[in-house]
Amino acid sequence: MTVTERTLVKNLAALEDGPVTVRGWVDTVRDQKKVQFVVLRDESGAVQLVNPRNDETEQIATTISGLAQGSFITVTGELKHDERVKLGGIEVKLTSLTVETEAIPETPIAADSGIDKRLDWRFLDLRRPEMNLVFRVQTTLEHAWRTWWVENDFIEIHTPKLMASASESRAELFEVEYFEGKAYLAQSPQFFKQMAQPAGFGRVFEVGPAFRADPSFTSRHATEFTSVDAEISWIDSAEDVMRMHEQLMVAGITAVKEKHGAEIAELFGVELEIPTLPFPRIPLAEAKRIVAERGYEVQRADDDMDPEGERQIAAYVKEEFGHDFVFLTDYASSIRPFYHMRHADDPSLTQSYDLVYNGVEISTGAQREHRVDVLIEQAKEKGLDPDELGFYLDFFRYGVPPHGGFGMGLSRVLMLMLHQSNLREVVYLFRGPTRLLP
- DSSP for 154-169? -EE----SEESS-SS-
Checking DSSP bridges between strand 175-178 and strand 281-283, what pairing results, if any? unpaired
Contacts 24+ apart (CB under 8 A), 212-216: 212/172, 212/187, 213/171, 213/172, 213/173, 213/174, 214/172, 215/433, 216/433
To the question of whether residue 320 is assigned a binding role by annotation, the answer is no
Checking DSSP bridges between strand 45-52 and strand 90-101, what pairing results, if any? parallel
To the question of whether residue 212 is assigned a binding role by annotation, the answer is yes
Rounded to 10°, the helix 129-151/410-417 angle is 120
The answer to whether 155 and 196 are in contact (CB under 8 A) is yes
* Other C-beta atoms lying within 10 Å of the C-beta of residue 189: 29
Q: Is 328 exposed, middle or buried (0-12, 13-18, 19+ CB in 10 A)?
A: buried
End-to-end CA distance of the chain: 39
To the question of whether residue 106 is assigned a binding role by annotation, the answer is no
To the question of whether residue 44 is assigned a binding role by annotation, the answer is no
Q: Which of 65, 66, 91, 89 is closest to 80 using CA atoms?
A: 91
**Entry field: residues in the chain:** 438
Question: Measured between alpha carbons, how far is 438 from 431 in angstroms, rounded to an integer?
Answer: 9
Question: Measured between alpha carbons, how far is 404 from 239 in angstroms, rounded to an integer?
Answer: 10
- DSSP for 363-402? EEEEEBP--HHHHHHHHHHTT--GGGGHHHHHTTTS----
Q: Is 205 left (phi over 0), alpha (psi -120 to 50) or beta?
A: beta
Contacts for 223 with CB less than 8 Å, ≥ 6 apart: 174, 211, 212, 213, 214, 431, 432, 433
To the question of whether residue 267 is assigned a binding role by annotation, the answer is no
The answer to whether 196 and 204 are in contact (CB under 8 A) is yes
Binding residues are 168, 212, 361, 364, 368, 409-412
Binding residues for L-aspartate are 168, 212, 364, 368
Binding residues for ATP are 361, 409-412
